[in-house]
Amino acid sequence: MFLAIDAGNSNVVFALFDEKTQKWTNQFRLETKTDRLISQLSKKVPLYFLEHDIHPKDILQIGFSSVVPEIQDTIQEFCQNFFGKEAYLISPKSYKKLPIVARKPNEIGTDLMCNVMAAWNNYQQPLIIVDFGTALTFTVVDEKGKVLGVNIVPGLQTAIKALFMNTSKLPEVSLEFPKSAIGQDTIHAIQAGILHGYTGLVKGMLETIRNEKPLPFKIIATGGLSAILTTLRDEFEEIDRYLTLDGIRLITQINQA
């Protein structure tokens, strides 16, 4: 099996890909918080493998994407000790063998390049990839596989947490799409403002990008929160929650072939 590790600002995702069935079979996540990560790795990962009857030796290859440099050594050391294998850390050097190109490879997150690699491998046409994570990103790719650029705004949970932490009376609320855009109480008001507001943000950003670059873009959504904004489903030709993981697998296998 192939193990993909996607370390983001909120969570570290572990996902297993069965080479025989060509499917992602298992997935779990840990909190990225550095003060808790070591204990979570040592307790939760072995327990998960035991409960799902998966032996560490079943893992033949490990690909690792991280946008959190301070935890990279910890995860790589854990992989070496638990799996007996080195995790391949995706970096700008990894892109040299790929059919995609980044204008400034040192300034684009490896998670976004994994998205581009997986989407380009599937479609080979101009792309706009909308990733709903801790940050909401729009990655634009031309017809030759060149990354034209990226837009970054705070993600949905980040926006809600910012309201909660920077105001004295507003509570932290759940990400549930309200029926009305007109809030009837405090919780409804925040949900309406954030979720309906982000619907308009995404539509407006896509329209602006297409006006600036009139290419036949295929628009793909990914990320853990991509399914929440139900009003945007018609904007996306595909919602692929495995996109980053597929990219980690492809980039790792190309570089370790």
* Residues annotated catalytic, as ranges: 111
Q: What single DSSP character describes residue 171?
A: P
Residue among 225, 214, 222, 227 nearest 116 (CA): 222
CA dihedral sign, ordered 219, 207, 232, 66:
positive
Structure tokens at 255: 């570089």
Q: What single DSSP character describes residue 195?
A: I
Pairing mode, if any, of strands 238-239 and 218-222?
parallel
Q: At what angle do helices 110-123 and 243-255 cross, to 10 degrees?
A: 90
Q: What are phi and psi of 240, to 5 degrees?
A: -125, 100
Could you give the CA distance from residue 222 to residue 241 in angstroms, rounded to a whole number?
5
